[in-house]
Amino acid sequence: MHKPIIGIAATTLALASSLAAASPLQWQDNSLTYLYGNDFEVDPKTQQAVTFEHVSGWSFGDLFLFVDSIHYNGAKDANGNNSTWYGEVAPRLSFGKLSGQQLTFGPITDVLLAGTYERGRGDIKNYLLGPGFDLNLPGFDYFQLNTYYRHSDTPDGVRGAWQVTPVWAVTLPVGKSDILIDGYIDWIVDNDGDGKHANLHFNPQVKYDLGKALGWKAKQLYTGIEYSYWKDKYGIKNTAAFDTNQNVTNLLVKVHF
């Protein structure tokens, strides 16, 4: 695994430990996912990825982070790399928890300050901040709606954009087990005229709880698919000469621990 990935994971786990000393950890979940897919755009067509994810609830909010290690099966990207890495750290501060008040109105169950730090190989560094909302919607295990102002550091300067990110999960009982459908949408609504285009990334996973079906612990071992639709990937406008509209179905295996 690349040294930058180890550094991000170590830093985020150290952050979680320091936060635990200041305020109690209420719950957490960690997982590793293996993904394999074809027909990616912009980057090499065939990719394999290993993803580490951490999610936790705290007395003052919640934390989500992930790190991807992506490999191109011998092919190289435009920068001459046969692999890459990418990670995000996304803490949220809950005004309901911090105030001790129930901030509920309509379907909204909490109001939060949501932030994200995005870091990838090379010059990928983005900082996001804005209001977030937890909603209670029929049929959903959870539903979050985060809105951000997106600040990007690039070699040719700084640019900004607005982003809307809903996150959700739905569990459907099937026989002796369950199907979990979860995912997110990253919709970068606009850009500031530096050549980057508005873009939308729709990324759900459809997973069968294989562990539960085998009589093991539920919510521990999943198999299924991850679908990735990315219109104008990386903010590169799709043209007849250069297709940047990605439409990929990945096979996945996911283990929680």
End-to-end Cα, the chain, rounded Å? 19
Question: Dihedral sign, CA of 93, 184, 162, 120?
Answer: positive
pTM, full prediction: 0.87
- Listed in sequence order, the residues at least 6 apart from 197 whose beta carbon sits closer than 8 Å to its beta carbon are 191, 232, 235, 236, 237
Cα 60 to Cα 66: distance, rounded to the nearest angstrom: 20
Q: How confident is the model at residue 152 (pLDDT cuts 50, 70, 90)?
A: confident
Q: What percent of the chain has pLDDT over 70?
A: 87
Does the pLDDT at position 129 exceed 90? yes
DSSP 44: -
- CA–CA separation, 199 and 237 (whole Å): 8
pLDDT (tens digit, 9 = 90+) per residue, 89-125? Answer: 999 999 999 999 999 999 999 999 999 999 999 888 9
- Please report, for residues 6, 13, 84, the alpha-carbon distance to residue 68 in angstroms, rounded to integers and kept in the order given: 11, 16, 8
Which CATH code of 3.40.50.2300, 3.40.50.2000, 3.90.45.10, 2.40.230.20 fits the domain covering 3-256? Answer: 2.40.230.20
Average pLDDT across the chain, whole number: 91
| Burial readout 97-111 (b: 16 or more C-beta within 10 A, e: otherwise) | beeeeebeeeeebbb
Cα–Cα distance measured from residue 137 to residue 141, given in angstroms and rounded to the nearest whole number: 8
Residue 214 has pLDDT above 80, yes or no: yes
CA 206, 77, 43: angle at the middle one, nearest 5? Answer: 30
Residue 196 has a pLDDT of: 79
Which tens digits make up the pLDDT trace of 17-69?
Answer: 555 455 589 999 999 999 999 999 999 999 999 999 999 999 999 999 999 99
Q: What is the pLDDT of residue 206?
A: 98
Confidence band for 153, pLDDT divided at 50, 70 and 90: confident
